Amino acid sequence: MDIFKKCNTFTGFKEAIKRGIYPYFPVLNAGQDTETSINGNKTMMLGSNNYLGLTSDERVKKAAQDALAKYGTGSAGSRFLNGTLDLHVELEDKLASFLNKDGAIVFSTGFQANLGVIATIAGRNDYIISDKANHASILDGCHLSLAKLVRYKHSDMDDLERILKKIPEDKGKIIITDGVFSMEGDICKLPEIVELGEKYGARIMVDDAHGVGVLGDCGRGTANHFGLEDKVDIIVGSLSKALASLGGFMVANKEVTFYIKHIARAFIFSTSVTPADAAAALEAVKILEKEPERVKKLWDNTNFMREGFRNLGLTLGNSMSPIIPVMTWDDNKTFAIGRKLLEHGIFVNSVVSPAVNKGEAILRTTYSSTHTKKQLEYALEIFDKVFKEEFGEVVSEESSHVG
């Protein structure tokens, strides 16, 4: 059989393309800010992870430009050999200090951070207990590790304990959870997870890609938000969201960090992040430390939109973060509504299965501290127009299943 047969017979999304409602791979003609340009049209961005608006901050851009001028365009090697710059070390020291750990490693991407950490720390005779809603990079890292993977129902602490009870005491085990879940926007039940981890002798790892810059004191993340930094063993995060750059990182104690940086294949066999990326992320962390009001403004905007959506009668997911999913349930309806919003100058993310469960499609909306009230009020007007005038109804849970 031809191994390419699956490619030649792949029909997914072709109907959406035919109907002109295919939402993926939109081409931006401008940078990631509260407003951008898509296909040459001015567009308000309600689908970016630029939570603090730092991708267009002049200080961050200047830091990247200065690093480009000093170090050139690339690092030209892995960290293990010739690719470690003083910028990388300074960034790691800053991340460790910011997140109150004594060791850090910067990876080339957030995806690689999860692959590298999980595949290195968990081995064939160990157990990984992972939330079913965790990010795909966590799942891939679990498979790569060869450890025994057991997934518990999303944020179901009874199911987590049921699983932990069955694992032999002499086996190594680690509970892995997203801090803020990237589609649902809810926050993990970290106090309960920590309690169960201590009860059954399991280590705790939190992927805080959507928590750093969003939750906690000065945006220090989920563990800080709950006052449990000393109880979480490993925090993995991203430089490409609130920190306005590209890359990933982990923080932990020095022994764990030292081990991973010498063993993790995703780290030692990858070229290090570019000088400009490292400098931009470093400057973003410094700004976050100095300007905690950015986090407050982010939450002001988030709460304004959540209340606004509810006043429109829209059904929202169980979000507790600046990720607010608007329920649309049906895949094609999601694509159609997303296209109509874009025609009115509003970009959101159309999310369908398998990223969410079948029949639970959403418009994933996200917010920035730099959105203005005027922009958000306009966005609510357009949502109201599209959902009511264009479709003749508000898409509630009841109406979504009619016909």
Catalytically annotated residue among 241, 297, 340, 371? 241
| pLDDT band with cut points at 50, 70 and 90 for residue 393 | low
3-state DSSP call for residue 262? helix
pLDDT in tens, 35-68: 999 989 999 999 999 999 999 999 999 999 999 9
The beta strand positions in 288-369, using DSSP E, are 323-329, 346-347, 349-351, 361-366
Phi, psi at residue 125, to the nearest 5°?
-100, 10
Contact call for residues 91 and 250 (beta carbons, < 8 A): no
pLDDT in tens, 312-365: 999 998 999 999 999 999 998 999 999 999 999 999 999 998 888 889 999 999
Residue 37 among the catalytic residues: no
SS3 of 133-158: the string is: CCCHHHHHHHHHHCCEEEEECCCCHH
Residue 241 among the catalytic residues: yes
How many of the other CB atoms lie within 10 Å of CB of 280? Answer: 29
Contact call for residues 275 and 75 (beta carbons, < 8 A): yes
CA distance to 8, 149, 152, 170, 260, per residue, from 201 (Å): 49, 17, 17, 10, 21
pLDDT in tens, 248-291: 999 999 999 999 999 999 999 999 999 999 999 999 999 999 99
Residue 210 among the catalytic residues: yes
pLDDT in tens, 167-194: 999 999 999 999 999 999 999 999 999 9
Q: What's the full length of the chain, in residues?
A: 403
Domain range summary for the chain, segments of one domain joined by +: 9-45+292-400, 58-290
CATH architecture of the domain 9-45+292-400 equals Alpha-Beta Complex (3.90)
Contact call for residues 83 and 274 (beta carbons, < 8 A): no
Catalytically annotated residue among 210, 225, 261, 371? 210
The beta strand positions in 217-376, using DSSP E, are 234-238, 248-252, 323-329, 346-347, 349-351, 361-366
Token representation of residue 341 = 């919003």
User: Residue 394: pLDDT above 60?
Assistant: no
> For domain 58-290, which CATH number applies: 1.20.1250.20, 1.10.150.120, 3.40.640.10, 3.40.50.11540?
3.40.640.10
User: Residue 391: pLDDT above 70?
Assistant: no
Catalytically annotated residue among 48, 182, 238, 272? 182
* Residue closest to 184 by CA, chosen among 357, 48, 323, 359: 323
Percentage, residues of the chain above pLDDT 70: 96
